[in-house]
Amino acid sequence: MRLAGDMPILPLFVASFVLAMCFVPHFSTIYNLRNCLLQSADLLIISCGLTFVVLNGGIDFSVTSVLALGSVVGAYIMALSPLAATPAWSIPAALAAMVGIGLLVGLVNGFAVVRLKMPSFVATLATQLIVMGLAVQFASKVSQTSSISGLPEAFFVLGGEGKYFLVPLLVALTVFAVSDWLLSRTIFGRRVYAVGVNPKVAFISGIPVRKTIVWLMVLSGCFAGIACIIATARNQVGMASLGDKLFLTTIASVIVGGTSTSGGSGGVRKTLVGVLFITVLNNALNLLGVGWYTSMIVIGGLIVLPACSSHLLNGRNSRR
Amino acid sequence: MRNILLQISNITKSFSGVSVLHGVNFDLRKGEVLGLVGENGAGKSTLMNIIGGVFPMDSGTMELAGETYLPKNPLVATGRGIAFIHQDLNLFSNLTVTENLFIGKFPHTALGGIDRKKMRLAALEYIKRFSLPVEPETVLGSLPAGIQQMVEISKSLMQKARILIFDEPTTSLSRKEKEDLFATIAELKEKGISIIYISHILEDIFRLCDRITILRDGRIIETRETSDFTEAALIQGMVGREMTGVFPSIEKEVLKSVLLEAKHIKWKDKVKDVSFAIRAGEIVGMYGLMGAGRTELARVLFGVEPIDEGEVVMNSRSYSRLNPGLCIGEGAAFITEDRHREGLLMTKSVDENLGLVKMSRLLNWAGVVDRKAVDTFNQFVIRNLRIKVADSRHQTVNALSGGNQQKVVFGKWTVNDPKILILDEPTKGVDVGAKLEIYSVIFNLAKGGSAVLFISSEIEELMGTCDRILVMKDGRISGEVAKPEFDQKRLLELALKNDN
């Protein structure tokens, strides 16, 4: 009962999964399920990062721009740069660049929020636009086409090519496990929740509020960098449009999962369920021949759901 | 006998079982200025809120101009001609003067849009009539405090106010603005408007008021013509609260070493050159009226606000810049005045709140939270402070009583084993039984060698718990009284009187 009350989305996910298994043609095939999992890997990684920011009552719009810039810069290093000839050098360099871009964007966001006292909504919107613009400019400078192909074969392992399909899943689960551990077991996690509920109380209790916020933004950026690696490897090209449709799905996963946008309650376990649910839903609707725009309507409806269910739950049981 | 505009008979009011007003009677005559004085917590605000329709009274009657007056809400009060001029103004600083004057009843056009032209003309007329030195389009927030107050007064006169209630109107005004306000009050009086003037500044009360009413412990002590009062008599009437509280008798010893010292602390215009020192085992009270700068001082001492000038010395180390983390490192703890907004995460569990302050003691070798140690520790704190909670892991603090909430605030600091305690109104909103328990906690901490700064507006609790009491007035320490000389009248005099 507590589990269900805590995660109103869990029974819904299970129900929709079972329904899809029974009634949606081709859903239950190994090939499709594998696809679902692969697609959810990068979504889970970004959503975990975003969960930290949302727990603080903030938002990070810039994650998808990290995907864009990371993808083109990483692809450039692996396919076009002087390093490209030796994959043993170019792949690690590209990976470092992708995570590094995330780290840098996160630092800028953190600085803007903490020092310039900008709301994260505004600060990350600005970095999103700037970094996205940079990505498109960079891509058009280094290559005539909109995407950079010719990446080394070894890199595709990270995208789950062929028999390596567990690799991205393991990366995603590791990111998830680390996030969960950070939130539930470490002082940092306690600080995230405290600052998210009431930064003033946190400050007076001696919690370094500003440092905590910078760390959140950096984590979100770095996770976006890791997701960028996996998404680029899966698509096998570097392109600035990599994360175009991803942002809505990411924020939807976090919110549908049950992390409150007002900060301080929720966590990555909820986000995991949110990610799985949205992935299954998207996939099933897709198999049923329903277009992307219809799934958007459904996901929109789902975002309202936690509010409705918590309203109902509160009506019945005022303690939680 | 001049005609009576407002007659109040036998009003009683209690909040959650605590009686605040016990049968208050008074009358307000047409065109007079009635001063209302009393200590913090005497019931002045409650009484005014009842007149203004903010809360209902429990029993009693009010008559306004001979008719029964029973305001259901503040709107009714405004409609019957009673207006409040609050300490913090009831205006919108982001809107223009005109918009503020007409807020709530904008003139509108046939289409439903605001008739700006009509509004502007009407505003101009009012501005002229009340000779306000403003333009109708000026954004209110850009005006000085005194002018904003004039706008508020004009607004209430537009609504045909017959009674104006001023609650500490001069706190944010300059000397010049204050003179202007007094001139306005004199004019209002000429026009036959009645005024209730609440203030801690006795000098102003004597200057402005025709009659003075003293309220103490929810009772009217006396109402007399101003000329019949002396300042001493007024203070005598305000004090004399009965010492009914019981205080724990715990033997403790004041040691030699000074743990907390303030040296010439200044902060904005609220704290002006404050110095004192507190020894290990000593409980030092700090009394003062609202706005004396005590809370601001406490916040500066704990690094919540920056130290503008001066130094704080903790454990013989001097600091001219502080933050809460640093203070916690020195073994200091701070119980804020507002536990809801600054002390607790109201929507989180008792355990989470107890774990707010850095728990370096509760980490395992890898720097990870040792859950077992945390649980054991929380259970220890809950037992030790006798926090009444059934399931500390899941029960959120907003479901606890005020006293238990405050104990959780104490509990969150005990992890740090505090040696310097800064307590700002630690028994505010706490029932009598829990107060006694909180006094015991404070005594025990002092007995264990902590230095305690105990800020309170209740003279009696300070007299019952402290080794000496400092009094603050207008950002300065206006006096100090040692335990053998504790005397309510002396303390109140220090809090009220002008030195010049």
- Measured in angstroms, the CA of A194 and the nearest CA of chain B are apart by 7
Q: What average pLDDT does this structure show over A141-154?
A: 89
Test B345 with A198 for CB contact under 8 angstroms. yes
For residue A315, what pLDDT is reported?
53
Question: Residue B61's beta-bridge partner residues?
Answer: B9
Pick among A182, A205, A262 to test the B interface (most B CBs inside 10 A)? A205
C-alpha separations of B376 from B351, B362, B369 in Å: 11, 10, 13
For residue B90, what pLDDT is reported?
74
Residue pLDDT, tens place only, A97-145: 999 999 999 999 999 999 999 999 999 999 999 999 999 999 999 988 8
Q: What average pLDDT does this structure show over B376-402?
A: 88
pLDDT-wise least confident of A186-195, B106-115, B356-365: B356-365
Task: Quickly state the pLDDT bin for B360 (edges 50, 70, 90).
Answer: low
Same domain, B356 and B448: yes
Residue pLDDT, tens place only, B431-464: 777 888 899 999 999 999 999 999 998 888 999 9
- Measured in angstroms, the CA of B60 and the nearest CA of chain A are apart by 36
For residue B88, what pLDDT is reported?
63
Same domain, B175 and B267: no
Q: State residue A127 phi and psi, 5-degree precision.
A: -65, -35
C-alpha separations of B484 from A192, B246, B252, B444, B464 in Å: 49, 18, 16, 22, 12
Pick among B345, B347, B370, B375 to test the A interface (most A CBs inside 10 A)? B345
For residue B87, what pLDDT is reported?
62
Residue pLDDT, tens place only, A233-258: 999 999 999 888 888 899 999 998 98
Size of interface A-B (CB pairs under 8 A): 68
HEC assignment per residue over chain A: CHHHHHCCHHHHHHHHHHHHHHHCCCCCCHHHHHHHHHHHHHHHHHHHHHHHHHHCCCCCCCHHHHHHHHHHHHHHHHHCCHHHHCHHHHHHHHHHHHHHHHHHHHHHHHHHHHCCCCCHHHHHHHHHHHHHHHHHHHHHHHCCCCEECCCCHHHHHHHCCHHHCHHHHHHHHHHHHHHHHHHHHCHHHHHHHHHHHCHHHHHHCCCCHHHHHHHHHHHHHHHHHHHHHHHHHHHCCEECCCCCCHHHHHHHHHHHHCCCCCCCCCCHHHHHHHHHHHHHHHHHHHHCCCCHHHHHHHHHHHHHHHHHHHHHHHHHCCCC
Same domain, B196 and B285: no
- Measured in angstroms, the CA of B471 and the nearest CA of chain A are apart by 25
Task: Quickly state the pLDDT bin for B236 (edges 50, 70, 90).
Answer: confident
| CATH classification of the domain holding B485 | 3.40.50.300
Please check whether residue B245 lies inside any domain of the structure. no
Question: What share of chain A in percent tops pLDDT 70?
Answer: 94
Test B358 with A206 for CB contact under 8 angstroms. yes
Please check whether residue B371 lies inside any domain of the structure. yes
Chain B residues close to A197, C-beta within 8 Å:
345-348
Q: Closest partner residue to B369 among A187, A205, A265, by Cβ? A: A187
Q: What average pLDDT does this structure show over A280-302?
A: 86
C-alpha separations of A179 from A199, A205, A243, A260 in Å: 21, 24, 22, 17
Chain A residues close to B325, C-beta within 8 Å:
206-208
For residue B429, what pLDDT is reported?
76
Same domain, B227 and B357: no
Name the nearest CA neighbour of A252 among A289, A277, A216.
A277
For residue B132, what pLDDT is reported?
84
Q: How many CB atoms lie within 10 A of CB B29?
A: 17
Same domain, B314 and B454: yes
Pick among A204, A207, A211, A314 to test the B interface (most B CBs inside 10 A)? A204
Test B342 with A204 for CB contact under 8 angstroms. yes
Q: Please give the residue of chain B at the shortest CA–CA distance from A198.
A: B345
Please check whether residue B246 lies inside any domain of the structure. no
Please check whether residue B251 lies inside any domain of the structure. no
Whether the pLDDT of residue B32 is over 60: the answer is yes
Whether the pLDDT of residue B1 is over 60: the answer is no
Helix residue ranges, H only, B250-386: 294-301, 324-329, 350-354, 371-384
Same domain, B234 and B262: no
Report the distance separating Cα B265 and Cα A14, nearest Å.
Answer: 62
pTM of the predicted structure, to 2 decimals:
0.82
Q: Does B324 touch chain A (CB under 8 A)?
A: yes
End-to-end Cα, chain A, rounded Å: 12
Same domain, B70 and B208: yes
For residue A17, what pLDDT is reported?
93
Whether the pLDDT of residue A285 is over 70: the answer is yes
Task: Quickly state the pLDDT bin for B150 (edges 50, 70, 90).
Answer: confident
Task: Quickly state the pLDDT bin for B426 (edges 50, 70, 90).
Answer: very high
For residue A317, what pLDDT is reported?
45
Please check whether residue B66 lies inside any domain of the structure. yes
Q: What average pLDDT does this structure show over A181-186?
A: 91
Please check whether residue B486 lies inside any domain of the structure. yes
Test B355 with A203 for CB contact under 8 angstroms. no
Task: Quickly state the pLDDT bin for A309 (edges 50, 70, 90).
Answer: low
Q: Which helix (H) or strand (E) holds B190?
A: helix B175-190
**Are the beta carbons of B205 and B199 closer than 8 angstroms?**
yes
Whether the pLDDT of residue B400 is over 90: the answer is no
Which range of residues forms the domain containing residue B428?
Answer: 258-496
Chain B residues close to A208, C-beta within 8 Å:
325
Exposure string over B116-147, b if 16+ CB within 10 A, otherwise e: eeebeebbeebbeebebebebebebeebeebb
The count of structural domains within chain B is: 2
Task: Quickly state the pLDDT bin for A7 (edges 50, 70, 90).
Answer: confident
For residue B241, what pLDDT is reported?
60
Chain B residues close to A1, C-beta within 8 Å:
none
Name the nearest CA neighbour of B459 among B197, B216, B171.
B216
Q: What is the ipTM of this complex?
A: 0.84
Task: Quickly state the pLDDT bin for A3 (edges 50, 70, 90).
Answer: very low
Same domain, B220 and B264: no
Same domain, B440 and B355: yes
For residue B142, what pLDDT is reported?
87
**Are the beta carbons of A130 and A62 closer than 8 angstroms?**
no
Domains of chain A: which residue ranges? 40-266
For residue B450, what pLDDT is reported?
95
Average pLDDT over all residues of chain A: 90
Same domain, B227 and B346: no
Please check whether residue B232 lies inside any domain of the structure. yes
Q: Taking an 8 Å Cβ-Cβ cutoff, which residues of chain A contact chain B?
A: 185-187, 190, 193-194, 197-198, 200-208, 264-265, 319
Q: Closest partner residue to B324 among A187, A190, A206, by Cβ? A: A206
Please check whether residue B247 lies inside any domain of the structure. no
What six digits make up the tokens of B24? 């208050």
Q: Does B399 touch chain A (CB under 8 A)?
A: yes
**Are the beta carbons of A171 and A45 closer than 8 angstroms?**
yes
For residue B214, what pLDDT is reported?
93
Average pLDDT over all residues of chain B: 88
User: Which residues are CB-neighbours of A98 under 8 A, at least 6 positions away?
Assistant: A70, A71, A73, A74, A225, A226, A228, A229, A232
Whether the pLDDT of residue A1 is over 50: the answer is no
Report the distance separating Cα A74 and Cα A63, nearest Å.
Answer: 16
What six digits make up the tokens of A159? 């995208």
Residue pLDDT, tens place only, B252-268: 899 999 999 999 999 99
Q: What is the torsion angle, in degrees rounded to the nearest 10, for the CA atoms of residue B215, residue B220, residue B222 and residue B227?
A: 50
Amino acid at residue number B152 = E
Test B345 with A203 for CB contact under 8 angstroms. no
